[in-house]
Every structure is written in C-alpha cells, then in structure tokens.
Structure 1
C-alpha cells in the first residue's frame, strides 16, 4: 500500500489489511513509480480507493499473464461520470488510442522498468495531464515491448468523481486544500 500524505484514517485502515504501507512522494505518478521501484513483485496490480472489486476480480486481471509476452492487462471500468464514455469512445475508436484504466490494471514490473515508467516531469496537479499519461501514453510505451491484454471479466465499479470535462466541485476543493493530487 502506498500513502502520499493521507490525512484521514486511510493509513490506519491500510495497516490492518496490507503487509506493508510505504510513505511515498506526493503526486500520483511519483508515488506509483516509487512503489514500483521498491516492490519486488513480478506483477503489480493497480487499483483505486474509489473503486469496488467483486469476488474473483484478482484472478481475472492476472489470468492473461500466463502468456510470457503479456506486459499489461486491463479490465472494464463501470462508471457514469459525465464525459467519461465519450472520451473513451473518442480515444479508442477515432484516434485509435488504447485506454487502460489505471484503476483496473496490472503490469509486469520488468516491462515497467524497461519503459522507464510513468513520466514524472508532468504537472501532477493537472488531473487531465495525469489521466492522459496513465491511461493512454504509458500503455502505448508498454505496447511497444509486449502484449497488452484485455480481461473482460475483470470488471471494477468506480464511484463518480471528477474526470476531465466534468465539474465535481468537491474534488476540486480537495485539490485546493492539498488533500488530493
């Protein structure tokens, strides 16, 4: 479990469930990168606190890794935030860009290191920029070195929150107060 400065009870709850809780730099991409560097796992799973994962989900997201050429897997994310579906259709169909949900994916750690990982030089307070790097640009780099496999039965359910093109004031206020990045 990674913590990048939580000020609520997240860390205490995580310590009850996780083997380790690491304090990492602020900024989502920097935090994830540090976690991947410190990990010794062959395959690293990416989830978000605002998602729910049904029983059997982990087996489904990991199943494609039986193929040694698989470097990344992802499953469908169900949510109803305004603009989310339209943005996905645009990227996947018209621009021919693959979207890999950062909240419902897994990757082979060696492949991550080979690509040099997430770009950490981008503005990590700019939510749209993080989204583009995490879900489109980074997977493109991964696809250059191996297979990205879709796991259709690895469904996660995301709570509605601010996504590019939406106006969720609660989320924006949390960023302004420094509670989120």
Structure 2
C-alpha cells in the first residue's frame, strides 16, 4: 500500500469538526499532563470534542474525568466502557458517541504536541483520504533501555507504514474518517493487541480510500524503562503477529535458533565488544554500543515466544458495527 508524506503546514483553511477519542485505564496520574497537552492544541477549540473513555479503572480516573470536564475551557465528554476490558472496546464506545465526521485517536500516556491536530487533519481536505497517521517520537529518557529503544526508533510510525503486508498507523496517533468505519466496521472489541493494524487493513484492502502520513503531527510517548516492561512490550508484539496471521494471513516471524543466537553472541564478544571498548576509551562509543546486540537478541527471542504461545480467542474475531441511528455527525 503506497502512501505519501504530506506537508501539513502550508494550508490550514480546512477546519472540520473533529472528535478525539482517548481510552483510559487507571490513568489518573497521566490526566494532568494529557489535559495540558489538549489545552495547548492550536486547532480551534470550538471545532473539537474530546471523548475520554474510562475502561473500568480501579483508581479515580472516572471521577477525575468528570471533575476536569466541569471546569475545562475545552469540550471534554467523560464516557465509560465497563463491559469489556479492552482499549479497542473503549475506543468503540468513543466512536459511537462521537459527533464528527473525522475521529482521532491517541492514548492517555501520550503527549500530543501543540500542532498535532492542525497537522493531522489537513490531509483529509482530499476526499479520498480516509486514514491519516501522525508521527510518534520518544519523550526524553535517560535509562539504557530507553536509549536503546530511541536508537531503534521503536515507536515510530515508519515501521508500521512500511509493513510488508500492508501499511497501517498506530492508534497512539491516528485519524480515521467516519464513513470508513461505517463501511469496514469498528475495532474488534475483544482483541487485546493488533487492533490498529486490523482496522487499517480492513479499510485499505476494501479500497475505501487512501492512507496519508503527516510527519509534523507529532505525539510523544514514553519508552519502557525496565527489562520487565521491555519484555512485556515485545511479547505483546509477538502476540499481535500471531493474531494478525490468523485474521489476515500475515507471515509469522522466524525463530532465532539457539545455535544462531549462540553464534551471534560469540561474534559479539569476540568482535563487537573489543571494537566498541576501544572506541569507548577514545570517547567514540557508549555503553549502549556495547550492549546493542544482546538487547536486540533478547527482544527478538521474547517476541518470538509471544508469537509462539499466543492463540487468537474466538471472540476476538467479532467486528462491531455502527448502526444508522449512531450516524449523528456535526459538520
């Protein structure tokens, strides 16, 4: 699937009503920074509604949402999804309540930059554009694992936009035209990972419209800081690959065998460590340069394990649909 990055800074005359959907689970601590980012948006405040969907949190998220909505200069609509514990089910709740033709997605732990909405919306001025993906960059981090993820640009949309099966955008920074959701269906509410790829592929492979990349529509996201968090992240990537294989026929990743892993570690010890140690003494290499290979092997092994052990739940095949009574769009 081809797409072209577009310049979103030249023409800002296209200002449709938009709905921003944010699923939140135990996000009370994230709310102040998130709301601050939403308040700083350059997009006209009277053209945006923010649908913040609590997904059965055990903290005070829903109470905080309601309090914030009462005292905020932007339109915040607190919603609740208590039936299904899934960010995709929460997004569907937001979509059903949305009043706009264009629906934008981000997450509670993301930090949208001020030009985010202005840049993300402009490609929709072309009627055949139905999906726009903005860029995701890392929040500043100092730990070794954050530096590793940053060097790999783990969060960047460039990886998903270049997917060998079909391009897609991650829901941390994504906008979809409502008509595309009406035709292709909503998120699979029981899916726990891979739902962003699934919904984009259903839209694009039905030839409903085009996907555009808006690189200046930037959302910042925090990298994982501990080995446990990194393991969970890459195991989830593996599960996603298995689910998308069963739903769309995506090619499964190949296992790095113990022999291959051992060979690469020996090569790392005998060549890379020696070379980078000399560079480090000269101030031309860092600890990250020394440990890049073993961290990469670790994430690859964890991802494969996640793929190997995953099994798509039967309920995850369900696609929710918008009904005609839910098509209450404000222009």
Quote the Cα distance in structure 2 between the aligned partners of 1:90 and 1:55: 24
Return the structure number with greater relative CO, CA threshold 8 A, min gap 6. Answer: 1
Equivalent residues in 2 for 1:1-181, closer than 5 Å: 1-15=52-66, 16-17=68-69, 18-24=75-81, 25=83, 26-79=85-138, 80=146, 82=149, 85=154, 92-93=161-162, 95-122=164-191, 124=192, 130=193, 132-134=194-196, 136-143=197-204, 144-161=207-224, 162=229, 163-165=233-235
TM-score, with structure 1 as normaliser: 0.75
Structure with higher helix content: 2
| Higher mean C-alpha displacement, 156-165 vs 84-93 | 84-93
Contact 2:89 2:189 in 1 (8 A): yes
**Bigger Rg, structure 1 or 2:** 2
RMSD over aligned Cα atoms = 2.7
Shift of 1:50: 1.1
Contact 2:136 2:155 in 1 (8 A): no
| Higher mean C-alpha displacement, 157-166 vs 97-106 | 157-166
Shift of 1:7: 2.5
Structure 1 gap segments, 5+ residues each = 125-129, 168-181
Contact 2:136 2:156 in 1 (8 A): no
Structure 2 gap segments, 5+ residues each = 1-51, 70-74, 139-145, 236-298, 303-331
Contact 1:142 1:148 in 2 (8 A): no
Q: Which runs of 4+ in 1 moved over 6 A?
A: 86-90
| Matched residue count | 159
Contact 1:57 1:154 in 2 (8 A): yes
Quote the Cα distance in structure 1 between the aligned partners of 2:156 and 2:118: 28
Quote the Cα distance in structure 1 between the aligned partners of 2:91 and 2:211: 19
In structure 1, the residue corresponding to 2:77 is in which secondary structure? coil
Shift of 1:23: 0.9
Shift of 1:51: 1.1
Task: Provide closer, same or farther for how the CA distance between residues 21 and 94 of structure 1 changes in structure 2, counting only shifts above 3 A.
Answer: closer
